[in-house]
Amino acid sequence: MKKFLKILGAILAVIVIYCAVMMLVVDSKVHNEQSILINAPKEKVWQNVNSMRAFNTWNPWMKFDPNIVVTYKGTPGEVGDGYHWKGNADAGEGEEEITALVPNDSVSTKMHFIRPMDDTATSNLRLTTEGSATKATWSIDYDIQPYFKPMMPLMNSQMNKSFSQGLGKLKELSEK
């Protein structure tokens, strides 16, 4: 029994030390970024990224709730174009709005997450020509609370998975 308690104590100590180090050392600014090469010209890819309605055709988070309620606002493809979503516990609730646009080049957005927790983030999608193809680079930036820092490896893994799914769908739509 003593051996079991020592092992359990050592495991708990490692967990506590890991959490303390992550909370003290890891930066609160988080940046995730992923790219994909799409065999289509920028103008064709642009059609799938230039508005919030177009974005939501490949947005990986929309699949979290088949009954998600989405309300659009503003003029599609212009600064101020945005939407509000309200879904189940997996999809949550929030808003996203275009803050900057450079035709056939980039889209910047701001996000406000309402539920499950109040938070904000910014996102950018850049298109660059690579030969006869287009490289789409999607990024997100946000601040993380210290008590969530120990979960960063899992959060980064989930974000990378979502980015891969979304960019894969963007590639599929753009190459049709």
**Structure confidence at residue 2 (pLDDT):** 83
**Mean pLDDT for the chain?**
90
Q: Which residue has better confidence, 41 or 64?
A: 41
pTM of the model: 0.80
Q: Say what percent of the chain tops pLDDT 90.
A: 60
d(CA 117, CA 121): 13
**Structure confidence at residue 74 (pLDDT):** 94
- How far, in Å, are 17, 81, 122 from residue 101 at the CA level? 45, 10, 14
pLDDT tens track for 55-94: 999 999 888 898 999 999 999 989 999 999 999 988 899 9
Mean pLDDT of all residues in 45-61: 94
Domain ranges of the chain: 29-174
Q: 55 near 174, Cβ under 8 Å?
A: no
Q: Which fold has domain 29-174?
A: Alpha-D-Glucose-1,6-Bisphosphate; Chain A, domain 4 (3.30.530)
Phi, psi of 145, deg, nearest 5: -70, 145
Mean pLDDT of all residues in 1-20: 81
* Partner residues linked to 20 by β-bridges: none
In the chain, the largest separation of any two C-alpha atoms, in whole Å, equals 68
Residue 166 — very low, low, confident or very high, per pLDDT cuts 50/70/90? Answer: very high
With 0-12 CB in 10 A as exposed, 13-18 as middle and 19+ as buried, what is 49? buried
**Structure confidence at residue 36 (pLDDT):** 97
